[in-house]
A and B are shown apart, each in its own frame.
Chain A
Amino acid sequence: MAEQSRRDFIGLALGGISTVGGVLALGAMKKSWDPLPSVQSAGFVSVDLSGMNEGEMHTVQWRGKPVFILRKSADTPSNDKRDIRIGEKRFVVLIGLCTHLGCIPSYEASSRTFKCACHGGVFDASGIQTFGPPPRPLDIPPFKCNGETIVLGEEGAEFQKMTKKA
């Protein structure tokens, strides 16, 4: 009897330690799939906004993603939660990936909208979705204003204010 239960215990212990080892190994394998440190610490991008005309849209690349920078023209409706004001000028900075499935919408200057070709999503000039499947407005990347230059990747006071409100 005692012999029997000791054998059971050793069998269970062997099963238990194998399971623990298996789980730890799976954890290690999961970590191998994580983004590498060099990918995670991708750099900061500074963009000079002083040369932009009203209604002009620029695309810059930040951490492999397109970022839209639009200087709103005077008659474009403003959105206090999303506009960046530098003096009299109003800018919007958006990550240019459709919040539905990540295609790059294109800016249609005539209607002042961003249109996504993949599934027909439409966003207004502030990046708010107005039609189709996108579940939320275009994301705003972390930014910091230095005069008429903005740095993408750094969280400035304006960005923190925006995200707090949202």
Chain B
Amino acid sequence: MAQIKKAEGFIDWLDQRLAVKAFMRVMMSEYWIPKNINFLWAMGVVLIALFAVLLVTGLLLLMYYKPDVNLAFDSVNYTIMQEVEYGWLWRHMHGVAASATFLIIYIHLFTAIYYGSYKKGREMIWLTGMVLFVAFSAEAFSGYMLPWGQMSYWAAQVITNLFSGIPVIGDEVVIWIRGDYVVADATLTRFFMLHVVLLPLVILAVIAVHFYSLRFPHVNNQDSVELDFEAEAQKYKEGRIKESRVVPFWPVFLSKDFFVVGFFMTFFFFLVCYHFDFAMDPINFEPANSMKTPAHIYPEWYFLWNYEVLRGFFFDIGGIAAMDIGLIAFVFANVVFFLLPFLDRNAMNTAPAHKRPAFFVWFWLLIVDMIVLTVYGKLPPTGVNAWVGFFAAVVFLGLFIALPFITKLESKGERQ
């Protein structure tokens, strides 16, 4: 047992019992981050800020929301939006923050790909990040159902139906997930449970693991220089601050992140008050109607690339039904990002993409292809659109199939 002495003050009292000083050193003031980074390294903190917004606004919405098919729509659109003081603000912030979270996740994810931060010891950071992406996707999807508008209903109908593609037991699985033959009250209440309890718990836990997994391989930097963190930290602590190539998380790294967060949140509040349709689809302000499909249905923008891979295959090939090919491609698209560290056959080269010519081309092709998929995922799937979607989906699959070969060739080139 530690020696407990009369405390010199409140902090000291706490320190004797919880070792807060050591804790702060490890977590903040002696957690070392490389100096040569750019604002893209602030996306993690931006995501934390957005997650905090989602959590707080979500709690306020939870006080008035009613998870019942007869009450849900009015509890959102009348009680929260019109009666509750600032209820509209919480709802707009919640909806826009959900969309903005995905924008930042994508930037965060492509930053990691571009700078090779997914390999050479950083695989666990990548994998926990992908788990977070999936958990956030489930969270977004379950939350989108709650206002019980037309898009809530039909998105739920279409997405739950995806499970019917599971061989043999598919149809039963769909009914089991819904708790009814169609999306109904039982579906709403169970997705409510997922959205407000289970998935947030999962997300919080995985965020903790994601942060933890950063501690050993350390944060990457924009030139992928291998740093001796202990030596550099020593320099910093000795006062050779300019010479040291690292900075502490607090206050140096965070001071920049706060600026980036502020910059982003200024834009965020513009979206919340003046430009929210992209995140709160007008069709969802129509009450759910199980007897009428809206003329155009589409998921939120951040699922569109995935959705287009699913529906891009609109004709049977070699006796395999179009729907099955689409589903296989869809599953592939969702799994393949997890495998990225293992598809890259040049695992030791962590240089940023602009120093790896073939990978550089691959990276920008992937970005362009995913944007094409996203845009065509929203357009009606008729005529030329269907073919553009088909080719973009094929290119997407092709890019990931090609990646091991591209990186293998690259590593061969380097050895010569």
Contacts and interface: CB of A to CB of B under 8 A. Distances in A.
A, B bound: yes
B131 interface: no
Interface string A126-143: 000000111100000000
A1 interface: no
Nearest to A96: B291
B405 interface: no
A160 B154 CA distance: 32
A61 B289 CA distance: 12
A36 interface: yes
Interface in B284-323: 290-297, 311, 313-314, 321-323
B276 to A, nearest CB: 25
Contacts of A59: 291
Nearest to B290: A64
Given A101-B162, A120-B314, A133-B322, A36 B186 contact: yes
B387 to A, nearest CB: 12
A75 interface: no
B150 to A, nearest CB: 12
B291 A119 contact: no
Nearest to B291: A66
Interface string B184-208: 1010001000000000000000000
Interface stretch (B13-21, B137-145, B175-183, B354-362): B175-183
B352 interface: no
Nearest to B386: A120
Contact of A133 (B184, B295, B297, B314): B314
Contacts of A134: 323
Interface in A93-112: 100-104, 106
A104 B291 contact: yes
B181 A39 contact: yes
Contacts of B381: 119-120
B161 interface: yes
A34 B290 contact: no
Interface residues of B, number: 36
A117 B180 contact: no
A25 interface: no
A35 B181 contact: yes
B326 interface: yes
B157 interface: yes
Nearest to B381: A120
A135 B323 contact: yes
Interface string A29-63: 01001111001001000000000000000010101
B186 A35 contact: yes
Contacts of A103: 154, 157-158, 293, 297
Contacts of B179: 33-36, 39
A133 B311 contact: yes
A117 B292 contact: no
Nearest to A30: B176
Contacts of A120: 314, 380-382, 386
A100 B310 CA distance: 11
A74 interface: no
A162 interface: no
Contacts of B83: none
B154 A64 contact: no
Nearest to A99: B323
A36 B157 CA distance: 19
Interface string B140-171: 00000000000000100110011000000000
B295 A100 contact: no
B70 to A, nearest CB: 14
Contacts of A85: none
A7 interface: no
Lowest 3 A-B CB distances belong to which pairs?
A64-B182, A102-B161, A133-B322
Interface of B: 154, 157-158, 161-162, 175-182, 184, 186, 190, 290-297, 311, 313-314, 321-324, 326, 380-382, 386
Given A36-B186, A63-B182, 12 more contacts: A33-B190, A42-B181, A64-B182, A66-B291, A101-B161, A103-B158, A117-B293, A118-B297, A133-B311, A133-B326, A135-B321, A135-B323
